[in-house]
Structures are given as C-alpha cells and as structure tokens.
Amino acid sequence: MSLPSAAPAFALPPSLPELAAVDFKPPKGERVVLDNGMVVYLMRDNTLPVVHMTAYIRTGKLNDPLEKIGLGELTAGLLKDGGTLKYRPDEIDKTLEFLAASVDTHIGIEEARADLTSLKKDLDTVLDIYAEVLMRPAFSPDKVNLRRTETLEMIRRRNDNPGRAAVREALRSFYGPAHPYGWRSEEATVKAVTIEDMRAYHANYYRPNNIILAVAGDFASYEEMIAKLKAKFGAWPRGKVKFPVIPPVQIRDKRQVFHMEKDIAQAYIVILQKGLKRHDPLEYPLTVTNEILGGGLSSRLASEIRSRQGLAYTVYSYSAKKPDLGYSLAYCGTNPATTARALTEMLRQYALLTREACPAEEVARARDSIVNSFVFRFPTPFELITERASFEYYGYTADYLDNYVENIARTDSKSVLETSQNLFKPEDAMIFVIGNSKKFDKPLSGFGPVTELKED
C-alpha cells in the first residue's frame, strides 16, 4: 500500500494573516526656549526613578584650528575630568560614584555632547555638578597633562587596528588631510594646545544659545523640570559664537588608488564615492540603496562576497551626510591572496545597481529592514527625545522624524535605479587598500594609477 504524498499537517507552514504596515507615530514631548536662548526638549517617563539629560553643543572637531587639531577633543574631555571652579576633579568622581550617577562629556566631528544620568532622588546634586561642568570648567593643570599624555599615546597606537585605520586614512585621502572632514590629530598639534586655548574655546562655543538640551525621566511635571533648569542655567549669559569658515570640499572626478604597505594577515579595502549634502531628498532612496548593497547579511555584498565566494567575513556599505558633501563607503577585509578578486566584485556590485533595476521584492525587503530597525532605535522616551533634539541640531524640519517611515516607504525600484545612476560612479571611485602587496593576487595598478602612502 502506497503512502500519501502530501506532507503531514504539522510540517506545513502556518497560515498567518498579512501584517499591517508599521504605524509609527512617536510622541512629541515638549519644546521650550529659556530666556538665554537654550533650547530644551522634555519628555516625562515615570517607568523608573531615573532622569537622563543630553546637551548638544554646536561645535565639533571640524572647528579646530589647523595648527591645533585636537583642541576641541581636549576641551570636551576635560570639562568634567579637569574639575570646575566649584568642584575638584576627585570630588566630582567620588560624588558621582557614591550616587551611582554619571556625567560624561565628549566630542565628535560635528557635535559636542554632555550626558547626565541620575536617580530621581539625587538629581539636584548631580544637576549642580552637570551645570558647573558645562558653565565653569577649571581645566586643572595636572589633569590637562594627564589627558594630553593619554591623547599622545592614542596617536602613537592609532594604527594598531588596521581595519579602523583603513577607513580613517581612506577618508583622509578622499577629503584631503588639510580639510576638516579628513584631518586627524598629530603629536605636534596636540602639544601646541594650551590651557588658555581650552578656556577660549569653551568661552566661545559653550554658550546657552549654542546648546540644545534633551531631558527625559521621572519628574512630576514639565513646569517642575523647567524650573530646575532655569535655576541652574538661567543666569548663564548668552554670547556671540564665532565659527570658522569651513572650506568647500573638492573631490577629483577620476579614479584614484591609494595603497599603504603593511605585512598583516588580511588586506583591508575601502571604496569611497561622492555622497549627499545633508537634507538632500535623495537621502531616502540612497538609504534603501545602501541597505540593498551592503546593509546586512542578506545584502548583495554580503551574499556574494561573504556567503557565495567566501572571500570575507566583514563586508558592508553605508552612506554619510555632511553639511557640504558626504560620501558613500564600501568596506571589506579579505585574504591578501584574494584582494583583487574581492575589489573587482565590490566594484561590479556598484555597477550592477546602475544598470539593472532591483527586483521589487528586494527593495521591499530593504525598506522593511530600515523601518523596523528605525522604530527600535527608540526603546525609551529618552532615546526618542534625544533624537528629536539631534534633528533640530542638524537643521532638519520639525516633522522629519514623524515622516521618516513614510518617506522610506515611497522608495521603489525606479528610485533606487535613478539614485544609483546619479551617485554611484565606480569608474571614478577612490580605492584605498592596506595590506602586503607581495601577496595580492593581482597588482592594484590594474584598477588605476597607484599612490603609495607610508603608515604614520
């Protein structure tokens, strides 16, 4: 007697209803402006007896003087660690440790930040430290010397991670070492920074009218929290902030290949192409396009280079926006003996996106991935209100966050193709490789004229 050919019921996939589209309507919180110009975003969250704050200070590493690159980083790092006019450094550390609270200050390319986390019951004490750190840092000489020594050691060890160095040096070659988007701190520029420079930097940029503050947590009412902030920051006078003129970006429209000789186990490849200025509406289709190209394990770069050909463990792509001109980047770490093969495939995948429309299913999968990960960027009210503050900091419209999902959802195969044709020019891409050229499967000269760089 023959057995039925139909699969048993338990082996059949369950019949599930079609999921509705993500309905993303995040709460807005409150936005107020203090009399001295400080912008404050607030959102109550009584889930836990904790309060978080993040201050965005309108400055960044790009504002450093060329001869004193590292000034902004030293200044930001010493706001707390260098003590204040009211609190000694050890006093700050002991108080925060005892209260299980934190106050941290740091700086990026285009922003400086100061973060606070405190239990509700200790907020008055921690907020007083936080306000003093922002308004009246002392830059204790012994702490300045210690931070300078640490910074110099980091410079000496900056090439210990060749994968990270490849991205840094690729951007340096792409924008030019003298442009703020591409420069890096050097021993001479860090040693040139004085305490007087830090005080002048702080006096210029750390002004209430140059700050956007995000606050979320367990407080009774918006009025109560605003009153606390006015009590701490209200007497801080506004000031005129002087910003340096950032020179326009100048990128060559011609294939460039840079190689840095280094005898290491892997070769690291970075491909850079022109990207977008911030606020360009092409941001949305470009985001989807990059997700298709190298946004995850199901992306084209990962599927082809990692999964099918087994050439790399790490391969990805992304785009970055800048006030002037951003970039699109693809990265791969591969065996030196497959360097040319991996690079050829990376360039081929860029070219394919400019020649053939992506299948609708592939575009839909990329859109869904972006939307789902975007929604989960805001697991708490603090992450949400901080994001709203950051969008204002970077000049986005007030409804940018609310309309993001809808704008991504509009991207289709046609807009992906048009965006790829508009932005991706693999024949003109800048290629940067770190690795042992004696082990490469083919010379890099096959990809264009090679400029040899020395590791420093």
- Cβ-based burial of 418 (10 A; exposed 0-12, middle 13-18, buried ≥19): middle
Share of the chain above pLDDT 90, in %: 91
Span 20-34, mean pLDDT?
81
Residue 277, strand partner residues: 322
Distance of CA 235 to the CA centre of its chain: 33
pLDDT-derived band at 379, boundaries 50, 70, 90: confident
Q: Answer whether residue 5 shows pLDDT above 70.
A: no
Considering the entire predicted model, what is its pTM?
0.91
Residues 343 and 337: beta-carbon distance below 8 Å: no
pLDDT-derived band at 27, boundaries 50, 70, 90: confident
Domain 256-453 annotated CATH 3.40.50.300: no
pLDDT-derived band at 448, boundaries 50, 70, 90: very high
Do 256-453 and 30-233 have the same topology in CATH? yes
For residue 320, give the 3-state DSSP assignment. Answer: strand
Q: What angle do CA 201, 327, 69 make, to 5 degrees?
A: 25
CATH of domain 30-233: 3.30.830.10
Digit-coded pLDDT (tens) for 384-430: 999 999 999 999 999 999 999 999 999 999 999 999 999 999 999 99
pLDDT-derived band at 25, boundaries 50, 70, 90: confident
pLDDT-derived band at 12, boundaries 50, 70, 90: low
- Cβ-based burial of 160 (10 A; exposed 0-12, middle 13-18, buried ≥19): exposed
Q: What is the pLDDT of residue 17?
A: 58
Q: What is the pLDDT of residue 261?
A: 97
Domain spans in the chain, listed from the N-terminal domain onward: 30-233, 256-453
Digit-coded pLDDT (tens) for 51-61: 999 999 999 99
Span 375-384, mean pLDDT?
89
| Nearest alpha-carbon partner for 437 in 318, 259, 212 | 259
- Strand order across the 211-217 sheet: 30-33, 39-44, 211-217, 50-57, 112-119, 102-107
What CA–CA distance (Å, rounded) separates 331 from 272?
9
Q: What is the pLDDT of residue 3?
A: 45
For residue 451, give the 3-state DSSP assignment. Answer: strand
pLDDT-derived band at 375, boundaries 50, 70, 90: confident
Digit-coded pLDDT (tens) for 329-358: 999 999 999 999 999 999 999 999 999 999
Digit-coded pLDDT (tens) for 271-296: 999 999 999 999 999 999 999 999 98
Q: What is the pLDDT of residue 20?
A: 58
